[in-house]
Structure 1
């Protein structure tokens, strides 16, 4: 049982909440799309039970992720994957994100759509939260319980802040890089003596992970072709 009076405990909780907000912005869109065909009197029920089901499934997924991360070398793999997730956060989004999500015409189909779509879209979230929780399901559960209402009901505000202040996205990506760098040093395959000998220097690897994500993400984003605002040259006048 983690010490809830420790500052490290609450820092980890804040990290999990930040991860859920940064990576869970699509949840509100999924819920809206899944419930859009329901009669008005059933929409609130669809949202409520869909969110409850999504939370429960995500906690189960994170529980299994925590068990897997106890296997040697998998934290190294998870850390590297988390670095790439952080980089992807800084890349321009594809415009085709939610075309495949169909609205349900009954309450049960809408709930099923929300739960399944959330499970498919939450792999990056699950890996990041598992890395930030240091193996504690108390941290995972508390972080998710606090962050899900923020994501669902405050998503418009969160997305507006991200659009208005792009530095919020950069800070979120850096946080994922920081957690990834720390994960690399906590893998079971590494000798305890090596990890302990680093002392506070292990923060350098976390900082390096954060810097790598931001620099690589910005560089890749700058190389992406600009799709909007590019005018095509006018066709030559064929009239004689």
Structure 2
């Protein structure tokens, strides 16, 4: 590494920007998945979510270029992100307090790891591209992403506790990323470019709207069922001998 080279510092600035933008996506996922946990459990969820994000980046950095050439891989990943985004917008179940804390924590960590696996690929590719052949810069990018993910996760959780609309915005962000992944898959990218020239913007917008619309619809249906439950209980009691 030539610290006196302008190219070196340009690469450093690019990596910092990449980590802030793409590391923020992981922070949103961790924040969304951990928002319903007790304070102590949140700390564990954030920690293991961060470990998963960094670990996956380290593994994927060795296979990044090859993975990009696998057709439909990004589409599969986008489907997972859409599912996670919708799931995180659903209201908490009434019997959630009966679920053991370790089960709840495990579910949160599982959600984080799945989302990390999908989103870490873009982060790794971007860092590798900015770093070129410099392993030192690649390691720098991976290390820098740790505090960004941890601090970003804590900030997102605090914002969601105070402003519930942040949850919706987080779900929409996951849909945005998923939509971009679909149109960027090597199997369909050329078709989208020829058929829909603005697909790089249309895809993310459609993905974001799909997550919010589907999540809101399922949440409303869940709330309606919950409101009707007491009436159904009364009806059963009235018919009982």
Separation (CA, whole Å) in 1 of partners of 2:170 and 2:218: 17
Change (3 A) 1:74 1:174: same
What secondary structure sits across from 1:122 in the alignment? helix
Q: For structure 1, which segment, 142-151 or 203-212, has the greater mean C-alpha deviation from structure 2 after superposition?
A: 142-151
Change (3 A) 1:77 1:96: farther
- Correspondences of 1:190-205 after superposition (within 5 Å): 190=188, 192=190, 195=193, 198-205=196-203
The aligned length equals: 206
More helix as a share of residues: 2
Superposed CA deviations along residues 40-61 of structure 1, whole A, max 9, x for unmatched, are xxxxxxx99x788556534335
* Alpha-carbon distance, 1:93 to partner: 3.4
Q: Name the structure 2 match of 1:18.
A: 24
Q: Name the structure 2 match of 1:167.
A: 165
**2:173 and 2:208 in contact (8 A); partners too:** yes
Change (3 A) 1:120 1:172: closer
Superposed CA deviations along residues 138-167 of structure 1, whole A, max 9, x for unmatched, are 56654444112443xx3xx53342132121
Separation (CA, whole Å) in 1 of partners of 2:119 and 2:75: 13
Change (3 A) 1:194 1:221: closer
Q: For structure 1, which segment, 191-200 or 72-81, has the greater mean C-alpha deviation from structure 2 after superposition?
A: 191-200
- Correspondences of 1:139-154 after superposition (within 5 Å): 142-151=144-153, 154=154
What RMSD over aligned residues (CA atoms) do the two structures have, in Å? 4.5
Q: Name the structure 2 match of 1:128.
A: 119
Change (3 A) 1:146 1:72: same
Change (3 A) 1:121 1:205: closer
Return the TM-score normalized by structure 1: 0.62
- Correspondences of 1:220-239 after superposition (within 5 Å): 220-225=218-223
Superposed CA deviations along residues 94-122 of structure 1, whole A, max 9, x for unmatched, are 526972639xxxxxxxxxx99xx847741
Which of 177, 180, 183 is residue 182 of structure 1 equivalent to?
A: 180
Q: Name the structure 2 match of 1:91.
A: 90
Separation (CA, whole Å) in 2 of partners of 1:180 and 1:97: 33
* Alpha-carbon distance, 1:71 to partner: 1.0
Separation (CA, whole Å) in 1 of partners of 2:26 and 2:98: 18
Unaligned runs of 5+ in 2: 1-7, 128-137
**1:62 and 1:127 in contact (8 A); partners too:** no
Q: For structure 1, which segment, 118-127 or 15-24, has the greater mean C-alpha deviation from structure 2 after superposition?
A: 118-127
**1:91 and 1:218 in contact (8 A); partners too:** yes
Return the TM-score normalized by structure 2: 0.62
Unaligned runs of 5+ in 1: 37-46, 103-112
Change (3 A) 1:81 1:145: same
Separation (CA, whole Å) in 2 of partners of 1:80 and 1:51: 20
